[in-house]
Structure formats: structure tokens, C-alpha cells
Amino acid sequence: MILTIDVGNTRIKAAVFEGDILLEQLVFFKNELQKNIENILKKFKNTTHLVVASVGNVEKEVFLGFNNELIVHFVSHHDPFPFNNKYETPETLGIDRMVLASGAALRFPRQNRLVIDAGTCITYDFIDQNNNYLGGAISPGLRLRYESLHKYTSKLPLLELESPKHFIGTSTSQSIHSGVVNALVYEMDGFIDEYKRLSSNFIIILTGGDTEFLAKRLKNTIFANSNFLIESLNQTFQYKINND
């Protein structure tokens, strides 16, 4: 069994896999990391590997403390990946984006793929049908948009995510909801339309914490899977084992 851990900017996702079968998953905050790993290992005693992909600021020593029980592997740029990295600065490409590209290449062969990860940031990653990773885009996620309106103005309130009641906001709160949510939806549909103009034989994969909220609002047909990154992490590690 393999325990995979995705350390994001805000939260941590953990999942236990046996082969390609997802047995259990958890989402928690960073201060709960050690306790949750200990609980998982008590429940799944046959776990042999701990695979970590991190863009957050959790120290490696926290994971290395389990070295006596597990083989610990940190996904890095030096691992084998099932795509050709054409990024101009490949060493700066986030590990999370590389794992997503890996999952897209492995799961949807011989297609052009656009992976959209809707989390703290929105990342767009394009992998062509010849398994070339060409790049993408990064923009603020929903929460960052709400927070920036509050932080960089003197009077706008900090709101929780909410579906706009109307396209035309009839109050300050409704105007913020309409602006934040609709602007992001139009952005995402615009990106998708532009990629579609560039390529045919195309699939769009939407993942991340805001997947469910956003999926039903997009006009484009997408493959929505909020667990795509954690599943891709398992697939990427299996690929490494077979290609080292």
C-alpha cells in the first residue's frame, strides 16, 4: 500500500492506495499532519511507501520521522515523468503542476489536455497529444479574490464564497459575489475557448478544492474530478517505479 500526501498552500490531502484503488482519503490542516499520518498507519498496517508532493511550507523532517516505518519519497524535478518538459524555466515549474501533467498524460493518452486546478491559485497546464508539456497560466483563486478586495480597499467586507443571486449585484455584497464568481467563470471559459482554437482532439480536466462549485457554471464540457491530483500522485509514483 502507498500513502500519498499532497501539501498545498492551504490544506493537505492524504490518500491510501492499493495499486490504483483508492482506499481512503483525508483533508486536513498542516498542524494535524503528524497525528493523521500516525492514525493512517495504525489503520493500514501494510503501508510500505510514503509519497509526498509539496508546494507548501511543511518541513521534510516531519515526513522523515516516519523513515523507520516507511520508505519516504519526495516527488522532485529529477524524477522520471511521462512527458517532455518544454517549460522555458523547467526547474521553476511547481511539483503540483508536474504531477497533474503526469496524470493527464498517463490517463488520457494521445490527446491534447488542459488541466485546470482550482485551489488557492488557478493553474492552467497544457500537455499536447505528443506528451509535450508546453506551459499554461497562473491566476488568483476564488478565496484570494475575495481576500484581495477586502485587504486592498478600506471598506469592502471579507465575504465567504457564495453563488451570486443575480448577475447584476443589487448590494455591495452581491456585487462582490457577482464580480468574483462570474469573472473567474468567464476567465476559465475564455482560456478553454482559446486552447480549443489552437488544438483539436481536446480534453479539459478540472480539479482542486473548488471543482464542484465551478464545474456546473462552465459552459464548456469538462472532466471534473476533485481528486485528480492525489490520484495522479499515485500514478506518477507507479510510473517512477517502472521507469527508474
pLDDT tens for 115-136 read: 999 999 999 999 999 999 999 9
pLDDT higher than 80, residue 231: yes
Mean pLDDT taken over the chain: 93
pLDDT, mean of residues 66-81: 92
Classify residue 45 by its DSSP letter: T
The residues with which 43 forms a beta bridge, in sequence order, are none
User: Which residues in the chain are classed under CATH 3.30.420.40?
Assistant: 2-74, 91-226
Note the pLDDT of residue 152: 97
In sequence order, which ranges of the chain are alpha helices (DSSP H)? 33-43, 60-64, 95-107, 142-151, 172-177, 183-198, 211-215, 228-243
pLDDT higher than 80, residue 214: yes
pLDDT higher than 90, residue 244: no
Note the pLDDT of residue 30: 86
Q: Tell which residue, 188, 184, 226, 231, has the closest CA to residue 209.
A: 226
- Residues classed as catalytic: 96
Which pairing describes strands 202-207 and 21-28: parallel, antiparallel, or unpaired? unpaired
Do residues 3 and 16 make contact, with C-beta atoms less than 8 angstroms apart? Answer: yes
What is the pLDDT confidence band of residue 199, given thresholds at 50, 70 and 90? confident
Adjacency order of strands within the sheet including 12-18: 21-28, 12-18, 2-7, 49-54, 71-74
If DSSP codes are grouped into helix, strand and coil, which group holds residue 28? strand
Note the pLDDT of residue 9: 80
Q: What angle separates helix 95-107 from helix 228-243, to the nearest 10 degrees?
A: 80
pLDDT higher than 90, residue 66: no
pLDDT digits (tens, 9 = 90+) for 123-178: 999 999 999 999 999 999 999 999 999 999 999 999 999 999 999 999 999 999 99
pLDDT digits (tens, 9 = 90+) for 22-35: 999 999 988 898 89
pLDDT, mean of residues 54-77: 87
Give domain 2-74's CATH architecture: 2-Layer Sandwich (3.30)
Q: How far is CA 229 from CA 162, 196, 202, in A?
A: 25, 23, 19
Do residues 26 and 6 make contact, with C-beta atoms less than 8 angstroms apart? Answer: no
In the block, residue with C-alpha cell 500526501: 5
Give the H/E segment covering residue 22.
strand 21-28
What's the predicted TM-score (pTM) here? 0.92
Do residues 86 and 132 make contact, with C-beta atoms less than 8 angstroms apart? Answer: yes
Do residues 211 and 188 make contact, with C-beta atoms less than 8 angstroms apart? Answer: no
Give domain 91-226's CATH architecture: 2-Layer Sandwich (3.30)
pLDDT, mean of residues 219-244: 91
If DSSP codes are grouped into helix, strand and coil, which group holds residue 54? strand
